[in-house]
Amino acid sequence: MIGAKIYLALYKGKKTGKNPSALLARLSDWLTRKLTKGVYSHCEIAVMKEVFVSGHHYETEVMYECYSSSIRDG
């Protein structure tokens, strides 16, 4: 995996809505920001992977392996 591209996504957690799941999401985002003393509620790292579809070296498919630090993502 030479020259792999890695992306970082930072999320502030500004969910809207008044239904119970939206309120719970906002609460968990707020709590995470307070406990970590940061402006972001979670981050994600996406690593680009080039997968060979067949034995031929020109037939590839781009996939992303994602890692999350969100409480909601598990």
The answer to whether residue 49 sits within a structural domain is yes
Show the domain range for 42.
Answer: 6-68
Q: Which 3 state secondary structure label does DSSP give 62?
A: strand
Taking only Cα atoms into account, the Rg of the chain, rounded to an integer number of angstroms, comes to: 17
The answer to whether residue 74 sits within a structural domain is no
pTM: 0.63
Q: Which amino acid is at 58?
A: Y
Contact 58, 47 (CB under 8 A): no
The answer to whether residue 73 sits within a structural domain is no
Q: What is the pLDDT of residue 2?
A: 59
Q: What is the pLDDT of residue 46?
A: 94
The answer to whether residue 39 sits within a structural domain is yes
The answer to whether residue 27 sits within a structural domain is yes
From first to last of the 74 residues of the chain, give the pLDDT tens digit.
Answer: 556 899 999 988 777 888 998 898 888 888 888 998 999 888 899 999 988 887 776 788 889 999 987 766 66
CA-angle at 5, arms to 15 and 70, nearest 5°: 30
Q: Which residues 6+ apart lie within 8 Å of 8 measured at CB?
A: 43, 44, 45
Domain count, the chain: 1
Residue 41 is given by DSSP the state: S
